[in-house]
Structure 1
Amino acid sequence: MSFLGIDLGTGGVRCLLVEYDGTIRSESSQELGNRNLAREAGRSEQDPREWVLALEGAMDHLFSDPAHRDVHAVAVDSTSGTVLPVSRDGNPLGMALLYDDMRASEEADRCGEVFGGRCSPTFSLPKIRWMQSHLDLPEDVRFLHAADFVNSWLAGTPEIPTDFTNAMKTGVDPALGKWPSSLADLSLPEVVAPGQRFGVLSERHCKRWRLPREVVLVSGATDSNAAFYASGAASPGDWSTTVGTTMAFKGLSERKIEDPQARIYCHRHPDGSWLPGGASNAGGEIVRRRFGSRIEEMEVRSQERRETSHLIYPSVRQGERLPFASSS
């Protein structure tokens, strides 16, 4: 019996097949053709249809081996704050605005009350308000987080819940797990905790990959929360850092920590404690873009030059979220 984890990242889709005891059985991945389709500075967007194509490619490769088809359950993680508009039948109505998109600064100023203080333009809610104001959307539009969209594709229906880690940046009450009344005008999914069974893989997908039994769909989490759960951090004061395209920090706390500048925010742990943390654009992307295939060469050269008088901030994007919050 195996379990499938799907990670929708900035640069591609990754599938990891593991046994009940955590042993990795197989893995596959598929890069996205475009990491950012936006042309203006401070904006980041992707076509969600490319996510589907990449996921199909990764799963085609994974399940080409009949020995990998004994899957019991699937869970999805994705970047936090990535959101898109969809029709009532779940089809995309526009681009997905990514986790680091900064265009909704004016909307963020108006959303602060929902979060009890300042709101970052990278949060999902101001992006949704921006889409309402700037896109020609039908009255029955729905808004889904990236993981929700993947789950709706897997289930074959948009009638799926979101988990409270993805819902946090959209304004869910983290203590109650419910949407505030001020968001009643939005068509948002029901909120559940990570790790909850909510449906099964669609019959169409089961037939395509010749999966022999009912495959359970389980609510996942944002990528940094999923990484924290897997890190082994278990006691108050424990911290975990995840370096990908960006860099995320999370710790375990018995109390909720408030930051009026919205650099640090608190997720709720499924066990009831709090996870203060944040994310910086100064992650691994600069290594890929500045050095690319020369990384091994540069590792060697760095040993020859231990000191430098030249200091640069290690980011290739406009704006920052942590350790300071700035759209420029």
Structure 2
Amino acid sequence: MSDRLPADAVWLGLDLGTQSARCVAVDSAGQVLAAASRPLTSHRDGNRHEQDPEQWWSALAGACREALAGIDPARVRGLALDGTSGTILLADADGTPLTPGLMYDDGRAAAQAERANKAGGYVWQALGYRSMQPSWALPKLLWLLDHERAAAGTGVRLLHQTDLVTWRLAGRQVASDASHALKTGYHLIEERWPLEELTELGVPESLLPEVVLPGTVLGTVCADAAEATGIPAGTRIVAGMTDGCAAQIGAGALAPGAWNSVLGTTLVLKGVSPHLVRDPQGVVYCHRGPGGSWLPGGASSSGAGVVSREFPGADLDALTARAAGTDGDAVAYPLVSTGGERFPFRTPDAEPFVLGAPANEAERFHAYLLGVACLERLCFDYLDLLGAPVDGPLTLTGGGARNRYWSQLRADVLGRPVRLPEQAEGAIGMAVLAATSSGASVQETAAAMVRVGAELHPDPARTARWTPVYHAFLDELVHRGWLDRAVAAHAKQRAAR
């Protein structure tokens, strides 16, 4: 343990996911002392996806009260919060929401994305992602300004998902973090808003929050928030990161070439690079990382959410056991969102498909598990094509990582070892980041608090078995016009090395 981490301290990690709000209490040695969560509900309508922002606060407050019920208040020193990337709303001068929360995969802002890319393309190119997608925060902000009457009011504020909660915790508006501000167009190299481009787009400077780097102390918990949440008044509020970055910290993936693959509702990959990774297709983007490093990654619209959609109410443990014994080679493209694919390629009209003919429900289930693994392999092949270092240690986190067979299948398809942290969740990462308020670096706190569990090694025979299936998956994506032939060719060449 770092000498700068108080042995008796408790650090809180707060997480706003798609389906739940969570609080974990972790000590300086990484032991989880308590955890609790509350469900969140969404409304989907075509390519629109919204949540009630008030639900974020009420659910998180309830989770905090439960988690802290048996914790000595004197031990609680700091907290940090993560949220879904690109989720925004408008609020009034008192922090009261004026609009629903437009979620991370809401795809309504296609026309506004074109405007944003025309006005700010030079900046986006400098930042490495070249263009914005409709689901990013800035296009959605432009949509709100175009369609919401509340946007014309006095004192209107843009808030990222976590900004609403930190405002409530501090009792006043505090700065946003640069991680959440990335998709709103924040200039991560120059650490400022690109005001000339935003003014051209009709975004008032008064709408924009102050932005600070993750790990910055924003303020302390106020008395009203302490009563609502059970978090002691005076607890330090530390600027957090997006959910994918939070999981990366929680996995301890902080060395150059290290990667964390978060398999939740969707698949999110985050790695560490000594240099900015630039993507001509704009599907990979970089956060700023600790010590001047960059955190390249991408967020897919495919992932484990397809399981709940395709197999509602199923006994997944039993289905996994049956799937593990199948010999079928069917593979399914595991798209969750109706708004098309975002990573490792961008295709607004992408839709699910199944290659092969599953003989029964177990084989159909296996096809989706295999589809996620194939998509994950394509993500790494694309990142390698861009020049991102991808050969460091790989950790698997997210709800999907709890399925041991699925994790082994992913290791086999990837042909590389994978690590499973004992506590595979973004809230742990936020507890680690909160602990940096003690004066220790994020590398020090991660070394002290992140506990690696199992390591799974690929079976070479299984890797050889699944490689032709992966190639057929690539061929189908090319045939449908979704995947560039050059990317598929690079993936096949890399498999032959």
Q: Same fold (TM over 0.5)?
A: yes
Q: Which of the numbers 92, 95, 113 marks the counterpart of 2:97?
A: 92
C-alpha distance 210-53 of structure 1, shift in aligned 2 (>3 A)? closer
Which residue is 1:140 aligned to? 155
Over the matched positions of the two proteins, sequence identity in percent amounts to: 38
Q: Any idea what the Cα deviations from partners look like across 1:76-127, whole Å, max 9, x if unmatched?
A: 0011110111001000001111111111011111112242332111110000
1:55 aligns with 2:60: yes
Q: Any idea what the Cα deviations from partners look like across 1:166-189, whole Å, max 9, x if unmatched?
A: 111111111122111223524111
Bigger relative contact order (CA 8 A; separation at least 6): 2
Which residue is 1:163 aligned to? 177
Which residue is 1:18 aligned to? 26
Please list every run of 5 or more consecutive structure 2 residues that lacks an aligned counterpart in the other structure: 1-8, 350-497
1:38 aligns with 2:39: no
1:150 aligns with 2:159: no
Which residue is 2:456 aligned to? none
**SS in structure 1 opposite 2:164?**
helix
Q: Which of the numbers 319, 326, 346 marks the counterpart of 1:298?
A: 319
**SS in structure 1 opposite 2:331?**
coil
**SS in structure 2 opposite 1:242?**
strand
Q: Kindly provide the amino acid, as one letter, of the partner of residue 131 in structure 1.
A: L
Which residue is 1:129 aligned to? 142
Q: Which has the larger radius of gyration?
A: 2
**SS in structure 2 opposite 1:44?**
strand
1:289 aligns with 2:309: yes
Q: Which of the numbers 331, 352, 355 marks the counterpart of 1:311?
A: 331
Q: Root-mean-square deviation (CA), in Å? A: 1.7
**Residues 164, 192 of structure 1: 8 Å contact kept:** yes
Which residue is 2:224 aligned to? 204
Report how far residue 316 of structure 1 moved: 2.8
Between the aligned partners of 2:53 and 2:333, the Cα distance in structure 1 is 31
**Residues 221, 233 of structure 2: 8 Å contact kept:** no
Q: Kindly provide the amino acid, as one letter, of the partner of residue 281 in structure 1.
A: S
Between the aligned partners of 2:21 and 2:148, the Cα distance in structure 1 is 27
Between the aligned partners of 1:211 and 1:275, the Cα distance in structure 2 is 31
**Residues 62, 229 of structure 2: 8 Å contact kept:** no
Q: Kindly provide the amino acid, as one letter, of the partner of residue 48 in structure 2.
A: R
Q: Kindly provide the amino acid, as one letter, of the partner of residue 287 in structure 2.
A: H
1:179 aligns with 2:188: no
Which residue is 1:225 aligned to? 245
Which residue is 2:133 aligned to? 120
**SS in structure 2 opposite 1:73?**
strand
Q: Any idea what the Cα deviations from partners look like across 1:260-295, whole Å, max 9, x if unmatched?
A: 221111111132111111011211111222224421
Q: Kindly provide the amino acid, as one letter, of the partner of residue 57 in structure 1.
A: G
**Aligned 1:231-270 pairs, distance under 5 A:** 231-270=251-290
**SS in structure 2 opposite 1:111?**
helix
**Residues 62, 68 of structure 1: 8 Å contact kept:** no
**SS in structure 2 opposite 1:115?**
helix
C-alpha distance 79-232 of structure 1, shift in aligned 2 (>3 A)? same
Which has more strand, going by share of residues?
1
**SS in structure 2 opposite 1:220?**
coil
Q: Kindly provide the amino acid, as one letter, of the partner of residue 6 in structure 1.
A: L
C-alpha distance 210-242 of structure 1, shift in aligned 2 (>3 A)? closer
C-alpha distance 69-45 of structure 1, shift in aligned 2 (>3 A)? farther
Which residue is 1:83 aligned to? 88
Report how far residue 67 of structure 1 moved: 3.6
Q: Which moved more, 1:96-105 or 1:113-122?
A: 113-122
**Residues 85, 243 of structure 2: 8 Å contact kept:** yes
C-alpha distance 213-172 of structure 1, shift in aligned 2 (>3 A)? closer
C-alpha distance 259-302 of structure 1, shift in aligned 2 (>3 A)? same
Which residue is 2:471 aligned to? none
Between the aligned partners of 2:10 and 2:224, the Cα distance in structure 1 is 20
Which has more helix, going by share of residues?
2
Between the aligned partners of 1:253 and 1:210, the Cα distance in structure 2 is 39
Between the aligned partners of 1:271 and 1:25, the Cα distance in structure 2 is 30
Report how far residue 208 of structure 1 moved: 4.6
Between the aligned partners of 1:209 and 1:49, the Cα distance in structure 2 is 14
**SS in structure 1 opposite 2:169?**
helix
**Aligned 1:58-77 pairs, distance under 5 A:** 58-67=63-72, 70-77=75-82
**Residues 77, 223 of structure 1: 8 Å contact kept:** yes
**Residues 13, 54 of structure 1: 8 Å contact kept:** yes
Runs of 4 or more above 4 Å deviation: 208-213
Between the aligned partners of 1:99 and 1:127, the Cα distance in structure 2 is 10
Which residue is 2:234 aligned to? 214
Report how far residue 243 of structure 1 moved: 1.1
**SS in structure 2 opposite 1:235?**
coil
Report how far residue 258 of structure 1 moved: 1.4
